[in-house]
């Protein structure tokens, strides 16, 4: 199949950018990133600069790949990262627009690569359980109800890719924060620090310049791990409760 | 101390600011029901007696008067906070994408600010047309047997206004905007407060939609019926 | 030179306890003054950096990723072993130790492996406390499943994302230390060289991948946790960014590389579909708990399937060859990875492969679906369920166990594995070889440590499933934090290392020079094309089976390719900017050297063991034929000067507690 790609090119954080149009021949078994590999090889052969994009595991789990394909983070398929999006979902002659994730808290580094270190700083603010190596009791000393554990897992499945922020018309990181707060707060081990965690993580989120949630739920629709916005409700509840209770 | 915390929470914290939107929205949702039930009396074919007496009661009962000031305040708060949030969110998003997304999202949720602006402008007109005229005493005065005081004939004011098809259209369209605003707003208010549970989510969403449709249609039919009664 | 593994005296089961009580300690006041560089932030690196930070050392942690959470440990699916014996099926520390030694085909060091088995239980406790949502029974207790090469259920798991959950646990522990200021994180920084001062590892040269600046970073000790070098094969289950640069630079500075030819080929990967392919995707070994591996018994059926005239479902039961069950009745589909991979290759070589390329076998869940369906129907009180109901119920059970893996398979291949069997083929997955380390996990360069997949230590010639996560975390959480004290206790009088000293300046100059060289070559072939060529040579001659002639030609080919690379590579862009092609060029240049050493090692080891299968050395039944008389040792290679031959040092392996025997899974 032959495709027309409209790709955002931007030299670095300080320079402006713009769309460039490329033609590329692909086949339906390729992944989207393999199709971009083909384009890059083509560009290198023409002695031009290849398109920079973040990617690593290419099996949908590391969360590195981050691009907006035809207006949608990770492309048109539900529950799929860009690296697992295959070209059989496109047709010969398609025009595909590829842009970087867009949010003030995710500045562009180059082309399709953005800086998502704000997520790391949010986790550093409290997205952990304070336990030193060697302190714990036996694993089975903390029985956890199967359903609770499973619910915590659903939230813990977050790969930190930032598609939620990219999809949100407000550039809000609520789903990311809510997923971590739910993962840890649902488990008995994590309950102890939950109040402080919620406050610190939300404060850090606000400081990073993310927007406010208006319950559009675009995040849920685009999350490659299909994390539910019910986690956001849980975060809201937790923050409201702790705000009124804490001294 | 307490004040500072509360102000910080309600006007600085991203979640607190949304709580303001949610609580004020829920208050307005409750008000709309009362307002609609009162207004449906306009359709009684009694020359406006029931409606005018009701309006007199509503504007003279001290408790209700207090609540009405709270209401004006709430509307302002909801509107101003909404505008502030929309501005902040636009800044947080930066540029928008070259291609717009067709991902399934909560219906009309992306247009809350636009719908809200329409409603705010509509409110200006609405308040000017009826509330201000009443306050200025511009309505004719009538006396009903069995009451010891004359009342303003607000019914006449309303009936008069809706002889104009232009106003009928504005009111009906604004009520469409209200319905769409509530379509998302109702369940969104619950989500923001964290009132979300797999068992009850379906119910909340359904009640929200029924409510939005009921309120919008209820308000919109009044001018339409009044108009057609007079042609 | 004689290698001293520094194995403590005493009986096997007391070595580690006694070591812990005798290893010199560093006082808290001194820890604050000692700096440690950790390169890599996967399971081993993140857990080590976090634990060292907790102890009070000043840690600097480097990753080339944009966040420590993206390290490729995250992609591990199946699980992590521990000798908890929660299942009451006769497991013990000794049994885990024994299985690992046997699984590694008797080429691992007893003392290290025993210690690994000993600390395995603490890893589970640690992970649970961090909030890792392991699978649980209805009673709320931890659940286990089986993995290849063992007869007990000792694998803890978190759906098909165990690596992800464990890495997030370690990442969170690391994040906590970053916020406490004990660890300074250097994201998007790639190590380009090791700095050795007066014979001790004292720092690294790293490139800031965003600005392109080459930076010097000094510390009292350096820990490499940079993973394996499977990407030397171009196509592997490793992530695109996985590379050998850190360990290779250490080798070039005099560190020994242990058993470089020991590579694990994982039997259950999604087969290659075309030339454009950039990587291979693993299907968890846990699938072999319920999946049965087969090919058609008759060649004409296989050919018909390849031509798409028949499907798997058209082949009747009696015309299917469940070759693992046939050849290895005791372990069946759960034989170790090396055995399963080779068996699949044998069938495909016979012309029985089932994909259009002829390089695939079936992994079939039909029997499991029917078995689970019947059991579920009987639980729900159905007396005479029909076939459709049974299959529906069975599919539900399978979806609960492996749902995400089935989805992933469908996403990639476009085929629904609930209806037709999966097609799988072996692919490069893990490298047992790595930097040679002693019992302290210290290389032969004092102050340079290697942990996780980056070292060679625990898996011998073949790693058992669910043991990589165990080793990475054992090293990082429970071993290195103790053993590094052995070195650092001698450094308490050493002031902060000066990054302005001559060795640093010299190393930095060399790095800059090399970058210039890569950019200035301005030839005509892309970095990617060289990598593909290297991968092809390695896979053909140093992959699942090897022979002397092939290896000789491979060495020649690699040398030629290397010199061609430096004459004709084209790297676009500049040095002082974000330049992924330049990053890749440096990595491929190192693979071109490392690949040769792998071939040299494979050539010298005239025996077959574990993942190293030399065609000249096999039994009549096609099993590996070890030569314990001559090759019962670790091959530690030094190759600081490429113009000279690599130099071999042998560390003999002494088995005192395990009786060395022919490995049999029949």
Q: Which domains does chain C have, with CATH numbers?
A: 268-427 (3.90.700.10), 507-635 (1.20.58.100)
Which residues of B lie closer than 8 Å to A, measured between beta carbons? 9, 12-19, 85, 88-89, 91-106, 109-110, 112, 184, 187-188, 191-196, 198, 201
| A109 to C136: CB separation less than 8 angstroms, yes or no | no
**Nearest CB to B92 within list A211, A233, A243:** A211
Mutate to test the interface with A, among B21, B81, B94, B184 (most CBs of A within 10 A): B94
Contact A162, A106 (CB under 8 A): yes
Query: Best mutation site among B7, B15, B22, B195 for testing chain A: the one with the most A CBs within 10 Å?
Result: B15
Predicted local distance difference test score (pLDDT) of residue C58: 98
Question: Does position C342 have pLDDT exceeding 80, yes or no?
Answer: yes
Instruction: Look at residue C328 and tell me whether its pLDDT is greater than 80.
Output: yes
Write down the pLDDT at residue B3. Answer: 85
What CATH number has the domain spanning B17-88+109-230? 1.20.1300.10
Nearest by CB: C136 against A31, A128, A144: A144
> Is the Cβ of A206 closer than 8 Å to some Cβ of chain B?
yes
At C148 the pLDDT is 84
Phi-psi region of A38 (alpha: psi -120 to 50; beta: other; left: phi over 0): alpha
pLDDT at residue C149, rounded to an integer: 84
Q: Of B91, B96, B194, which has the smallest distance from its Cβ to A236's Cβ?
A: B194
User: Is the Cβ pair B97, A102 closer than 8 Å?
Assistant: yes
Is B38 a residue whose pLDDT tops 70? yes
CB contact under 8 A, A139 and C133: no
Per-residue model confidence as pLDDT tens digits over C611-626: 999 999 999 999 999 9
Contact C430, C471 (CB under 8 A): no
What are residue A21's DSSP bridge partners?
A6
Q: Which of A27, A58, A109 sits opposite C239 (nearest CB)?
A: A58
For C402, the token pair is 């492996």
Determine the distance in angstroms separating the CA of B166 from the nearest CA of chain A, rounded to an integer.
34
Q: Which of C44, C81, C276 to mutate to test the interface with A (most CBs of A within 10 A)?
A: C276
**Superfamily for the A2-110 domain:** Beta-grasp domain (3.10.20.30)
| C-alpha span between C132 and C130 (Å, rounded) | 6
> Pick from C159, C278, C478: which is nearest to A153 by CB?
C159
DSSP code, position C475 = I
| C579-620: pLDDT as tens digits | 999 999 999 999 999 999 999 999 999 999 999 999 999 999
The one-character DSSP state at A215 is: S
Q: Which of residues 63-82 of C touch A (CB under 8 A)?
A: 65-72, 74-75
d(CA C156, CA C79): 5
Q: What is the pLDDT of residues C34-83, one digit of tens each?
A: 999 999 999 999 999 999 999 999 999 999 999 999 999 999 998 999 99
Contact C145, A97 (CB under 8 A): no
The residue-averaged pLDDT of C420-428 equals 96
pLDDT category at C398 given cuts 50, 70, 90 is very high
Q: Could you tell me how many residues make up chain B? A: 231
Please check the confidence at residue B146 and state whether its pLDDT lies above 90: no
Cβ contacts (< 8 Å) between A238 and chain B: which residues? 194
Chain A closest-CA separation from residue C172 CA (Å): 5
| Terminal alpha carbon distance of chain B | 62
Q: Are C253 and C640 in contact (CB under 8 A)?
A: yes
Any chains having at least 3 CB pairs less than 8 A from chain B are A
Query: CA–CA separation, C468 vs C44, rounded Å?
Result: 10
Task: Report the residue of A122, A155, A170, A241 to disrupt the B interface, i.e. the one with the largest count of B CBs within 10 Å.
Answer: A170
Chain B's closest residue to A78, CA to CA, is: B103
* Interchain CB contact of A1 with C (< 8 Å): no
List of residues 6+ apart from B11 with CB closer than 8 A: B17, B20, B81
Which residue, C324, C193, C342, C192, is CA-closest to C263?
C342
Asked if residue B154 lies in contact with residue B226, where contact means CB atoms within 8 angstroms, the answer is no
Report d(CA C439, CA C479) in Å as an integer. 9
Q: Mean pLDDT, chain A, as a whole number? A: 97
How far, in whole angstroms, is CA C193 from its chain's centroid? Answer: 22
- Look up residue B54 and give its two tokens: 């009701």
Answer whether A34 sits within 8 Å of C412, measured CB to CB: no
Residue of A nearest to B187 (CA): A215
Under the banding of pLDDT at 50, 70 and 90, the label for residue C160 is confident
Contact: chain B with chain A (3+ CB pairs below 8 Å): yes
Q: Which A residues, 12 through 71, put their C-beta within 8 Å of a C-beta on chain C?
A: 12, 27, 29-31, 33-34, 37-38, 41, 44-45, 47-50, 52, 54-64
Q: Find out if CATH 1.10.1060.10 is the number for domain A116-245.
A: yes
* Edge-to-edge strand ranges of the sheet holding C35-39: C183-186, C58-62, C35-39, C221-224, C448-450
Residue B121 neighbours by CB under 8 Å, 6+ apart: none
Instruction: For residue A151, count CB atoms less than 10 angstroms from its CB and return exposed for 0-12, middle for 13-18, buried for 19 or more.
Output: buried
Count residue pairs from A and B with Cβ separation < 8 A: 138
Closest approach of B193 to chain A, Cα-based (Å): 6
CB contacts, 8 Å: C88 with chain A: none
Render pLDDT for B56-94 as a digit per residue (tens, 0 to 9).
999 999 999 999 999 999 999 999 999 999 999 999 999
CB contact under 8 A, B13 and A206: yes
Q: Which residues pair with C193 in a beta bridge?
A: C205
pTM score > 0.90 for this model? yes
- How much of chain C exceeds pLDDT 90, in percent? 93
Say whether pLDDT at C514 is over 90. yes
pLDDT digits (tens, 9 = 90+) for C12-32: 999 999 999 999 999 999 999
Instruction: Quote the minimal CA–CA distance from C189 to chain A in Å.
Output: 14
pLDDT (0 to 100) of residue C1:
67
> Is the confidence at residue B144, as pLDDT, over 80?
yes
List the single best residue of B194, B199, B204 to mutate versus A (max A Cβ within 10 A): B194
Q: What angle do CA C61, C67, C69 make, to 5 degrees?
A: 90
Average pLDDT across chain C, whole number: 96
Of C129, C276, C529, the CB nearest to A38: C276
Residues of B in contact with A243 (CB under 8 A): 9, 13, 16
Q: Are A235 and B194 in contact (CB < 8 Å)? A: yes
Do the Cβ atoms of A156 and A128 come closer than 8 Å? no
Residue range C97-113: mean pLDDT, rounded: 97
The reply to whether residue C278 touches residue A31, judged by beta carbons under 8 angstroms, is yes
Quote the minimal CA–CA distance from B28 to chain A in Å: 18
Residue numbers in C near A50 (CB within 8 A): 572, 580-581
Which phi and psi (to 5°) does residue C567 adopt?
-100, -30
Q: Which of C346, C372, C306, C298 is CA-nearest to residue C622?
A: C346
Question: Between chains, do A215 and B14 touch, taking CB under 8 Å as contact?
Answer: no
pLDDT greater than 90 at residue C33: yes
Mean per-residue pLDDT for C155-176?
A: 96
pLDDT tens digit string along C218-252? 999 999 999 999 999 999 999 999 999 999 999 99
C-chain residues near A80 (CB < 8 A): 411
Q: Do A104 and B94 touch (CB under 8 A)?
A: yes
Q: Which residues pair with C295 in a beta bridge?
A: C321
Neighboring chains of A (3 or more beta-carbon pairs < 8 A): B, C
Look at A139 and C54 and tell me if their CB atoms are within 8 Å.
no
Would you call C426 an interface residue with chain A, using a CB distance cutoff of 8 Å? no
First-to-last CA distance in chain C? 41
Instruction: Return phi, psi of residue C528, to 5°.
Output: -55, -40
Confidence of residue C402 (pLDDT cuts 50, 70, 90): confident
What residue segments make up the domains of chain A, in order of their start? 2-110, 116-245
By DSSP bridging, strand A95-99 and strand A2-10 are parallel
Query: A195 falls in which pLDDT band (50, 70, 90)?
Result: very high
Question: Residue B182 has what pLDDT?
Answer: 98
With a cut of 90, say whether residue B172 has pLDDT above it.
Answer: yes
pLDDT in tens, C462-474: 999 999 999 999 9
The token pair at A203 is 């404060």
Averaged pLDDT, C119-137: 97
Q: Where are the beta strands (DSSP E) in C132-271?
A: 144-146, 153-156, 183-186, 189-197, 200-208, 214-218, 221-224, 257-258, 263-269
Q: Report pLDDT digits (tens) over A88-140.
A: 999 999 999 999 999 999 999 999 999 999 999 999 999 999 999 999 999 99
* pLDDT above 80: residue C311: yes
- Cβ(C84)–Cβ(C153) under 8 Å? no
């Amino acid at each position: 199949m032959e495709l027309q790609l409209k790709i955002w090119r931007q030299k670095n954080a300080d320079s402006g950018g713009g769309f460039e149009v490329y033609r590329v021949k692909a086949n339906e078994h390729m992944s989207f990133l393999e199709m971009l590999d083909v384009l890059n090889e083509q560009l290198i052969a023409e002695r031009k600069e290849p398109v920079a994009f973040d990617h690593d595991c290419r099996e949908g789990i590391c969360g590195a790949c981050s691009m907006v394909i035809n207006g949608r983070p990770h492309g048109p398929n539900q529950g799929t990262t860009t690296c697992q999006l295959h070209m059989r979902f496109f047709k010969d002659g398609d025009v595909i627009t590829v842009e970087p994730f867009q949010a003030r808290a995710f500045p562009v580094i180059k082309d399709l690569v953005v800086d998502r270190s704000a997520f790391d700083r949010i986790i550093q603010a409290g997205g952990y359980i304070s336990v030193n190596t060697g302190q714990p009791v036996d694993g089975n000393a903390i029985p956890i109800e199967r359903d609770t554990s499973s619910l915590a897992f659903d939230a813990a499945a977050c790969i930190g890719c930032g598609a939620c922020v990219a999809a949100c018309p407000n550039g809000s990181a609520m789903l990311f924060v809510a997923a971590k707060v739910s993962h840890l707060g649902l488990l008995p081990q994590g309950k102890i620090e939950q109040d402080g965690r919620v406050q610190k993580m939300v404060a850090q989120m606000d400081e990073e310049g993310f927007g406010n949630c208006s319950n559009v739920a675009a995040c849920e629709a685009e999350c490659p791990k299909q994390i539910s916005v019910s986690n956001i409700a849980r975060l809201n509840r937790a923050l409201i409760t702790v705000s009124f209770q804490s001294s | 101390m307490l004040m500072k915390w509360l102000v910080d929470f309600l006007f600085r914290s991203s979640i607190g600011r949304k709580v303001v939107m949610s609580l004020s929205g829920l208050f307005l949702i409750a008000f709309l029901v009362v307002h609609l039930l009162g207004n449906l009396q306009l359709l009684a074919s009694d020359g406006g007696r029931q409606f005018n007496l009701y309006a007199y009661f509503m504007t003279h009962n001290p408790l209700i008067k207090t609540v009405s000031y709270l209401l004006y305040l709430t509307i302002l708060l909801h509107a101003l906070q909404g505008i502030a949030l929309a501005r902040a969110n636009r800044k947080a998003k930066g540029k928008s994408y070259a291609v717009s997304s067709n991902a399934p999202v909560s219906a009309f949720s992306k247009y809350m600010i636009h719908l809200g602006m329409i409603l705010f402008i509509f409110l200006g007109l609405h308040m000017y047309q009826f509330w201000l005229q009443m306050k200025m005493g511009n309505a004719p005065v009538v006396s009903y047997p069995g009451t010891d005081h004359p009342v303003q004939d607000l019914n006449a004011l309303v009936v008069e206004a809706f002889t104009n098809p232009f106003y009928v259209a504005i009111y009906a369209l604004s009520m469409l905007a209200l319905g769409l605003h509530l379509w998302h707003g109702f369940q969104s208010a619950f989500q923001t407060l964290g009132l979300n549970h797999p068992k009850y989510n379906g119910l909340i969403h359904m009640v929200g939609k029924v409510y939005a449709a009921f309120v919008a249609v209820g308000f919109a039919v009044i001018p339409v019926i009044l108009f057609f009664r007079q042609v | 030179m004689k290698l001293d593994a520094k194995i403590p005296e005493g009986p096997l089961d007391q070595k580690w306890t006694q070591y812990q009580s005798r290893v010199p300690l560093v006082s808290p006041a001194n820890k604050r003054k000692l700096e440690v560089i950790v390169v890599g932030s996967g399971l081993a690196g993140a857990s080590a950096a976090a634990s060292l930070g907790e102890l009070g050392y000043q840690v600097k942690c480097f990753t080339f990723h944009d966040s420590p959470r993206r390290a490729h440990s995250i992609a591990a699916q199946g699980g992590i072993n521990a000798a908890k014996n929660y299942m009451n099926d006769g497991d013990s520390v000794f049994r885990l130790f024994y299985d690992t030694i046997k699984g590694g085909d008797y080429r691992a060091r007893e003392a290290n492996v025993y210690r690994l088995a000993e600390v395995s239980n603490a890893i589970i406790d640690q992970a649970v406390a961090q909030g890792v949502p392991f699978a649980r029974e209805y009673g709320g207790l931890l659940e286990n499943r089986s993995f290849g090469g063992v007869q007990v259920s000792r694998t803890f798991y978190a759906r098909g994302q165990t690596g992800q959950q464990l890495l997030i646990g370690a990442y969170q522990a690391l994040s906590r230390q970053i916020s406490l200021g004990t660890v300074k994180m250097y994201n998007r920084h790639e190590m380009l060289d090791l700095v050795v001062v007066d014979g001790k590892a004292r720092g690294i040269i790293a490139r800031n991948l965003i600005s392109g600046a080459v930076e010097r970073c000094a510390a009292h000790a350096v820990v490499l946790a940079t993973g394996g070098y499977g990407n030397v094969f171009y196509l592997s289950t490793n992530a695109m960014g996985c590379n050998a640069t850190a360990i290779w630079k250490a080798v070039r500075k005099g560190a020994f590389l242990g058993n470089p030819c020991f590579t694990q080929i994982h039997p259950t990967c999604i087969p290659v579909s075309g030339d454009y392919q950039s990587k291979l995707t693993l299907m968890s070994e846990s699938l072999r708990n319920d999946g049965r591996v087969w090919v058609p018994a008759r060649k004409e059926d296989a050919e018909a399937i390849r031509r798409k005239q028949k499907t798997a479902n058209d082949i009747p039961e009696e015309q299917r060859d469940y070759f693992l069950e046939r050849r290895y009745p005791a372990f069946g589909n759960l034989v170790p990875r090396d055995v399963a991979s080779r068996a699949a290759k044998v069938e495909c070589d016979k012309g029985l492969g089932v994909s259009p390329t002829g390089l695939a076998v079936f992994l079939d869940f039909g029997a499991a679906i029917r078995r689970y369906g019947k059991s579920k129907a009987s639980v729900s009180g159905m007396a005479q369920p029909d076939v459709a109901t049974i299959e529906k119920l069975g599919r539900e059970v399978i979806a609960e166990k492996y749902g995400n893996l089935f989805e992933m398979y469908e996403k990639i291949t476009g085929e629904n594995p609930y209806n037709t069997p999966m097609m799988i083929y072996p692919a490069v997955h893990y490298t047992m070889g790595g930097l040679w380390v002693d019992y302290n996990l210290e290389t032969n360069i004092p102050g340079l440590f290697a942990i996780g997949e980056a070292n060679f230590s625990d898996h011998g010639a073949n790693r058992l499933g669910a043991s990589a996560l165990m080793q990475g975390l054992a090293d990082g959480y429970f071993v290195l934090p103790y053993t590094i004290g052995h070195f650092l206790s001698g450094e308490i009088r050493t002031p902060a290392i000066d990054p302005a000293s001559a060795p640093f300046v010299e190393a930095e100059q060399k790095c800059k020079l090399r970058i210039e060289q890569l950019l200035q070559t301005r030839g005509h072939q892309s970095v990617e094309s060289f990598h593909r060529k290297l991968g092809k040579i390695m896979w053909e001659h140093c992959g699942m089976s090897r022979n002397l002639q092939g290896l000789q030609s491979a060495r020649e080919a690699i040398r030629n390719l290397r010199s061609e690379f430096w004459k004709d590579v084209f790297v676009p862009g500049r040095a002082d900017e974000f330049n992924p092609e330049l990053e890749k060029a440096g990595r491929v240049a190192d693979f071109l050297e490392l690949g040769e050493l792998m071939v040299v090692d494979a050539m010298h080891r005239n025996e077959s063991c574990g993942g190293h299968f030399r065609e000249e050395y096999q039994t009549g039944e096609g099993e590996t034929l070890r030569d314990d008389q001559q090759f019962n040792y670790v091959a530690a290679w030094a190759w600081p000067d490429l113009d000279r031959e690599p130099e071999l040092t042998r560390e003999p392996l002494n088995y005192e507690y395990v009786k060395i025997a022919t490995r049999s899974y029949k």
